């Protein structure tokens, strides 16, 4: 993997979650030194991700607002944080080689300072002296002051070699081919194996390197122009052309933003309030696969079982309004249920939001449903472009608990699916244990269920022809092939007469 693939050269977006505030003493200490506010914000985001299991895409906007960063500094903070998280595996190996010390033996605060420094040296156009000096000062403010010299020495050593030279050193020092690929591609080895397995059953194992490259590239911002918005995606793009909005991608609802503030682009689109929202086009297609699998009959009852944070629910609500259906949106976590209410404000007349465990009868309100979306909790390995920290947070040991939960949710949902009804099982993961294995196990457990051809449905819905190799009935989307998250979609029908 060449050095040109390492890190975005422009200002990217990050993917990630819970925010927080530095304590008062730390804030006071920082005010004493003239450190770039963007670097302080980026450091905080890395700290929240590591110490508080925050999601960077949620923590970052909050810290940017708190710090009052202007557009330029906000872009710098975003690139610093997302780049350091995305390339953490590779940067940690480089730090180990330069420091002759295992990364876990370096203090956590110093590790994050070094990661930001390495990204500036190897992934951005920052002048080397500025990258080193700012990192040293940052270490003095947020970490052990005595380690400032260590930071200086390590970064100066790293700055003396190019990306290509560091890649050669990584390869030479690796324990084997798998270890080298994991470090160079900045993905845990088990994640690479899972992706390789999923590509192999499609006969596309040779696409693995392209997938890893796509995972390490900041994605363009996608917006869904919901049905009923008052403008079509084409009209929205024309009205917001100055905001770099273009019609692109596989979803018939989707437009892409080339750069700048998404809120500005949405405002310029002319869409009704609440009918245009940032959303990956894979998520858009997953929701449309359910709503457009067959014509909607007035009075249909739909259920979004795991609705938070509400993006797919908003698509369901917009489609329900047009077809005369209604939606029950369930989210187990109360704070995420509020996010769903916020997301569906524009289509609130069609959506009722409740908060129960999807394995309990209360989630279903004593009803059976004509269509059910089970967007199950999963490893999130399909969204590593937007949530780069997920690759470092999940472990293979997490999979048994996740797949057990997925199976339990599916069993309960099928029990509340009306005869003749259709269920969409969706995960933002290509891991076979969370996709085909889960679906096949469900189908074997119930004779009244049959899988529907999701490929035909999604192919009909999509704006452009989709490359879906390998046969079978389910859909696996990929970032390198379709420009979406790696979304899995399976459609399952309950027979009208049990056999």
Catalytic residues: 428
Length of the chain: 499
Cα(216)–Cα(83) distance, integer angstroms: 9
64: helix, strand or coil: helix
| Residue 344 phi, psi (nearest 5) | -100, 15
With the CA atoms of 88, 89, 91 and 96 taken in that order, what torsion angle do they form, in degrees rounded to the nearest 10? Answer: 130
User: Residue 278 forms beta bridges with which residues?
Assistant: 223
Cα(114)–Cα(156) distance, integer angstroms: 11
CB 468 within 8 A of CB 459: yes
* Locus of tokens 């503030």: 261
Report whether 357 belongs to an annotated binding site. yes
User: Contacts by 97-100 with C-beta closer than 8 Å and gap 24+?
Assistant: 97/166, 97/169, 97/170, 97/173, 98/154, 98/157, 98/158, 99/150, 99/154, 99/157
Measured CA distances, 43 to 58, 367, 382, 454 (Å): 15, 49, 26, 43
Q: Across the chain, how many H-helices and E-strands are there?
A: 22, 12
Cα(279)–Cα(312) distance, integer angstroms: 9
Residue-by-residue DSSP string for 167-204: HHHHHHH-SSHHHHHHHHHTS-HHHHHHHHHHHHTTT-
* DSSP designation for 223: E
105: helix, strand or coil: helix
Residue 28 has which token pair? 């006071």
CB 327 within 8 A of CB 319: no
Report whether 312 belongs to an annotated binding site. yes
Residue 324 has which token pair? 């005369």
Report whether 375 belongs to an annotated binding site. yes
* Locus of tokens 């449903």: 369
Rounded to the nearest angstrom, the gap between the alpha carbon of residue 123 and the centroid of all alpha carbons in its chain is: 21
Residue-by-residue DSSP string for 415-445: HTEEEEEEEEEEES---GGGTHHHHHHHHHH
Residue 231 has which token pair? 């403008």
489: helix, strand or coil: strand
Beta-carbon-side half-sphere exposure of residue 203 (alpha carbons within 13 Å): 6
Strand residues in 245-401 grouped as ranges (E): 245-246, 254-257, 276-278, 301-304, 326-330, 351-354, 369-375
Annotated binding site for S-adenosyl-L-methionine, which residues?
Answer: 306-312, 331, 357, 375
């Amino acid at each position: 993997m060449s050095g040109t693939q390492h890190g975005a050269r422009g200002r990217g977006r990050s993917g990630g979650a819970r925010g927080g505030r530095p304590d008062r003493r730390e804030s006071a200490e920082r005010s004493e030194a003239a450190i770039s506010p963007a670097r302080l914000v980026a450091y905080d985001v890395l700290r929240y991700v590591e110490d508080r299991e925050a999601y960077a895409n949620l923590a970052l906007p909050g810290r940017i607002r708190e710090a009052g960063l202007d557009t330029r500094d906000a872009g710098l903070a975003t690139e610093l944080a997302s780049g350091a998280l995305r390339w953490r595996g590779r940067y940690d190996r480089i730090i180990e080689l330069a420091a002759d010390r295992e990364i876990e033996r370096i203090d956590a605060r110093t590790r994050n300072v070094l990661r930001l420094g390495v990204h500036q040296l190897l992934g951005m156009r920052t002048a080397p002296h500025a990258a080193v000096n700012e990192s040293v000062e940052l270490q003095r403010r947020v970490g052990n002051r005595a380690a400032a010299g260590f930071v200086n020495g390590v970064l100066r050593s790293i700055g003396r070699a190019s990306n290509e030279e560091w890649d050669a050193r990584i390869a030479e020092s690796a324990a084997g081919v798998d270890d080298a690929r994991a470090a160079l591609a900045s993905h845990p080895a088990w994640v690479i194996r899972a992706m390789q397995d999923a590509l192999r059953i499609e006969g596309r194992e040779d696409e693995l390197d392209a997938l890893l490259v796509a995972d390490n590239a900041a994605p363009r911002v996608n917006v869904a122009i919901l049905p009923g918005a008052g403008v079509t995606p084409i009209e929205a793009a024309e009205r917001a052309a100055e905001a770099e909005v273009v019609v692109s991608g596989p979803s018939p609802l989707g437009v892409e933003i080339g750069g700048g503030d998404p809120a500005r682009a949405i405002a310029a689109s002319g869409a009704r309030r609440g009918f245009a929202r940032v959303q990956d086009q894979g998520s858009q297609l997953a929701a449309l696969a359910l709503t457009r699998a067959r014509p909607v009959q007035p009075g249909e009852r739909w259920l979004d079982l795991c609705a938070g944070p509400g993006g797919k629910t908003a698509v369901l609500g917009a489609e329900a309004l047009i077809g005369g259906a209604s939606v029950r949106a369930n989210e187990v976590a109360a704070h995420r249920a509020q996010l769903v209410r916020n997301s569906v404000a524009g289509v609130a007349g069609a959506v009722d939001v409740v908060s129960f465990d999807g394995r309990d009868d209360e989630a279903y309100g004593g009803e059976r449903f004509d269509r059910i979306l089970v967007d199950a909790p999963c490893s999130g390995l399909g969204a590593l472009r937007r949530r780069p920290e997920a690759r470092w947070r999940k472990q293979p040991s997490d999979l048994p608990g996740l797949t057990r939960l997925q199976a339990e949710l599916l069993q309960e949902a099928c029990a509340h699916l009306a005869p003749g009804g259709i269920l969409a099982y969706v995960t933002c993961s290509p891991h076979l244990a969370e996709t085909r294995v889960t679906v096949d196990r469900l189908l074997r457990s119930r004779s009244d269920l049959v899988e529907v051809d999701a490929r035909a449905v999604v192919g009909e819905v999509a704006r452009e022809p989709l490359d879906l190799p390998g046969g079978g009935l389910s859909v696996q989307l990929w970032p390198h092939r379709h420009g979406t998250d790696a979304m899995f979609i399976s459609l399952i029908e309950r027979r009208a007469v049990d056999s």
